[in-house]
Structure 1
């Protein structure tokens, strides 16, 4: 099988298995393009992206342009003469002249079954919205946001126990497998090209602080899905006594319970405490009080004087 000369673009941990696969399967990688080093942690020291760390471990050349739209960046990549550019969670939109550069096109690995959940947070929103399945789609990139023609898809179930973290870890490995099959079919000249039905498109908009705040007037299932959809990042939260209380883990306690005061603690359990919602109740099992570590909700009850009748804002 012909091995296409590749420029790989990616930044977070999600992209690493795809880069690993390219190396393991012997693809010539002309360069790896990733986001600039960012301050991280309490000391705000500059940290490499996971993709940069992986690329350096393979002794691959790394480019870190502040903007992929810069003319100098285009000239650098053009000089590498790639057959194909592979993009996995890179973090910047590619300009048209770059999309048109490689003869085999620019191929994206996206974490949803397109045209559903186009955009920047497809894993989060699939769980928040209570979906029971998601997957990976590879596509030919165009100037739109995840609007290009599709190549291959692979679907996996979303389990009731899944969080964004667990689903992310499953999908990143599925992504590498689907990318491998995609490249083989491209090299063989038999890769499909299926246009998306934009009438069926949905969007996974960027997360914001308003998204993270729990609305206790929502049904119990919506609260529960928000919590697992924002675990491990950025984490759902509410307010208690004017301080932030992050909610890491919940379970549906009584989905059909009739509630009078959404946000009110109505019962203590061995694992935490039960809160009323707009419809039904949820058991809070893991929390993180403001400026404190993550802990079992049952431990928080004692340390923070949570009692039946207290209101979570």
Structure 2
């Protein structure tokens, strides 16, 4: 018997995943999103009204994923799995256990490596040659749940956050398509994460994008690529102005910004202040 599935999202990535479910011939039994006035200034905020109406899916608008009305709706619609993708609130134990089988999330690293935050910038800063996206069963830990499946993304010494962000989005959609049939037919193979291999990456703030003259060319180059759009950008404070750098090149012999072992020359940049 096919499973009854719900999906909670309020951003474009989530809607893209929902559209992929229907593209591969699936359907959903409940959609959950934020109330219209909430997070309306959030980057990538979308509304599910048109999709819900077109496909005749019940749509629940909420303030918080942990509210009683969510628990009630999951029970009323006899939901087996709840996808939570592109959602900033952490689901608590009651929500995780409300669907008959549990909740499914995604994380943009190859778990158990890179639990935590800022996965895209860190993958570039750390100079990884591959990263990816993990679909996993949510538990009360941070990115610690059993793995359903993973997709690998290759990186090289010129990969930017803009490019990686797009590849991560595409991989979310690919994983939905790849594992949808297994999920609805109860044919998934949950794999425990190897705790011995686990790493946790900390959050990053805009101020962490500052270029320091003590950096090597390699460090500065990685930082510029890691925090370019859609992130706040790398920057250099110069006298009373800030140079916001979106792309740059390095050179041993000449350039605009002196580093410990060479120079950095901004290519795409803005002057602020």
Secondary structure in structure 1 of the residue aligned to 2:99 = coil
For this pair of structures, how many residues does the alignment match?
Answer: 269
1:10 aligns with 2:4: no
1:200 aligns with 2:182: no
After superposition, the CA RMSD in angstroms is 2.5
- The answer on whether the counterparts of 1:34 and 1:63 sit within 8 Å (CA) in structure 2 is yes
Larger Rg: 1
Secondary structure in structure 2 of the residue aligned to 1:52 = coil
After superposition, the C-alpha distances for 1:158-195 in whole angstroms (9 at most, x for unaligned) are 13332112111112112111122223223344322211
- Of 153, 158, 167, the residue aligned with 1:170 is 167
Match of 1:236 in 2: 234
- The answer on whether the counterparts of 2:11 and 2:46 sit within 8 Å (CA) in structure 1 is no
Match of 2:245 in 1: 247
Match of 1:109 in 2: 106
After superposition, the C-alpha distances for 1:130-150 in whole angstroms (9 at most, x for unaligned) are 211111111111001100011
Q: 1:201 to 1:31 in 2, by over 3 A?
A: same
CA distance in 2, matches of 1:93, 1:65: 14
- The answer on whether the counterparts of 2:246 and 2:267 sit within 8 Å (CA) in structure 1 is yes
Report the alpha carbon displacement of residue 221 of structure 1 after superposing the two structures with TM.
1.1
CA distance in 2, matches of 1:211, 1:61: 42
Match of 2:261 in 1: 279
Secondary structure in structure 2 of the residue aligned to 1:34 = strand
- The answer on whether the counterparts of 1:135 and 1:154 sit within 8 Å (CA) in structure 2 is yes
Report the alpha carbon displacement of residue 50 of structure 1 after superposing the two structures with TM.
4.4
CA distance in 2, matches of 1:72, 1:54: 18
TM-score (normalizing by structure 2): 0.87
CA distance in 2, matches of 1:210, 1:62: 39
Q: 1:47 to 1:31 in 2, by over 3 A?
A: farther
Match of 2:187 in 1: 190
1:214 aligns with 2:211: yes
Q: 1:236 to 1:87 in 2, by over 3 A?
A: same
TM-score (normalizing by structure 1): 0.77
Report the alpha carbon displacement of residue 242 of structure 1 after superposing the two structures with TM.
2.1
Match of 1:34 in 2: 33
- The answer on whether the counterparts of 1:130 and 1:225 sit within 8 Å (CA) in structure 2 is yes
Structure 1 residues without counterparts, runs of 5 or longer: 41-45, 258-266, 268-272, 292-313
Structure 2 residues without counterparts, runs of 5 or longer: none
Match of 1:261 in 2: none
Secondary structure in structure 2 of the residue aligned to 1:29 = coil
Secondary structure in structure 1 of the residue aligned to 2:215 = coil
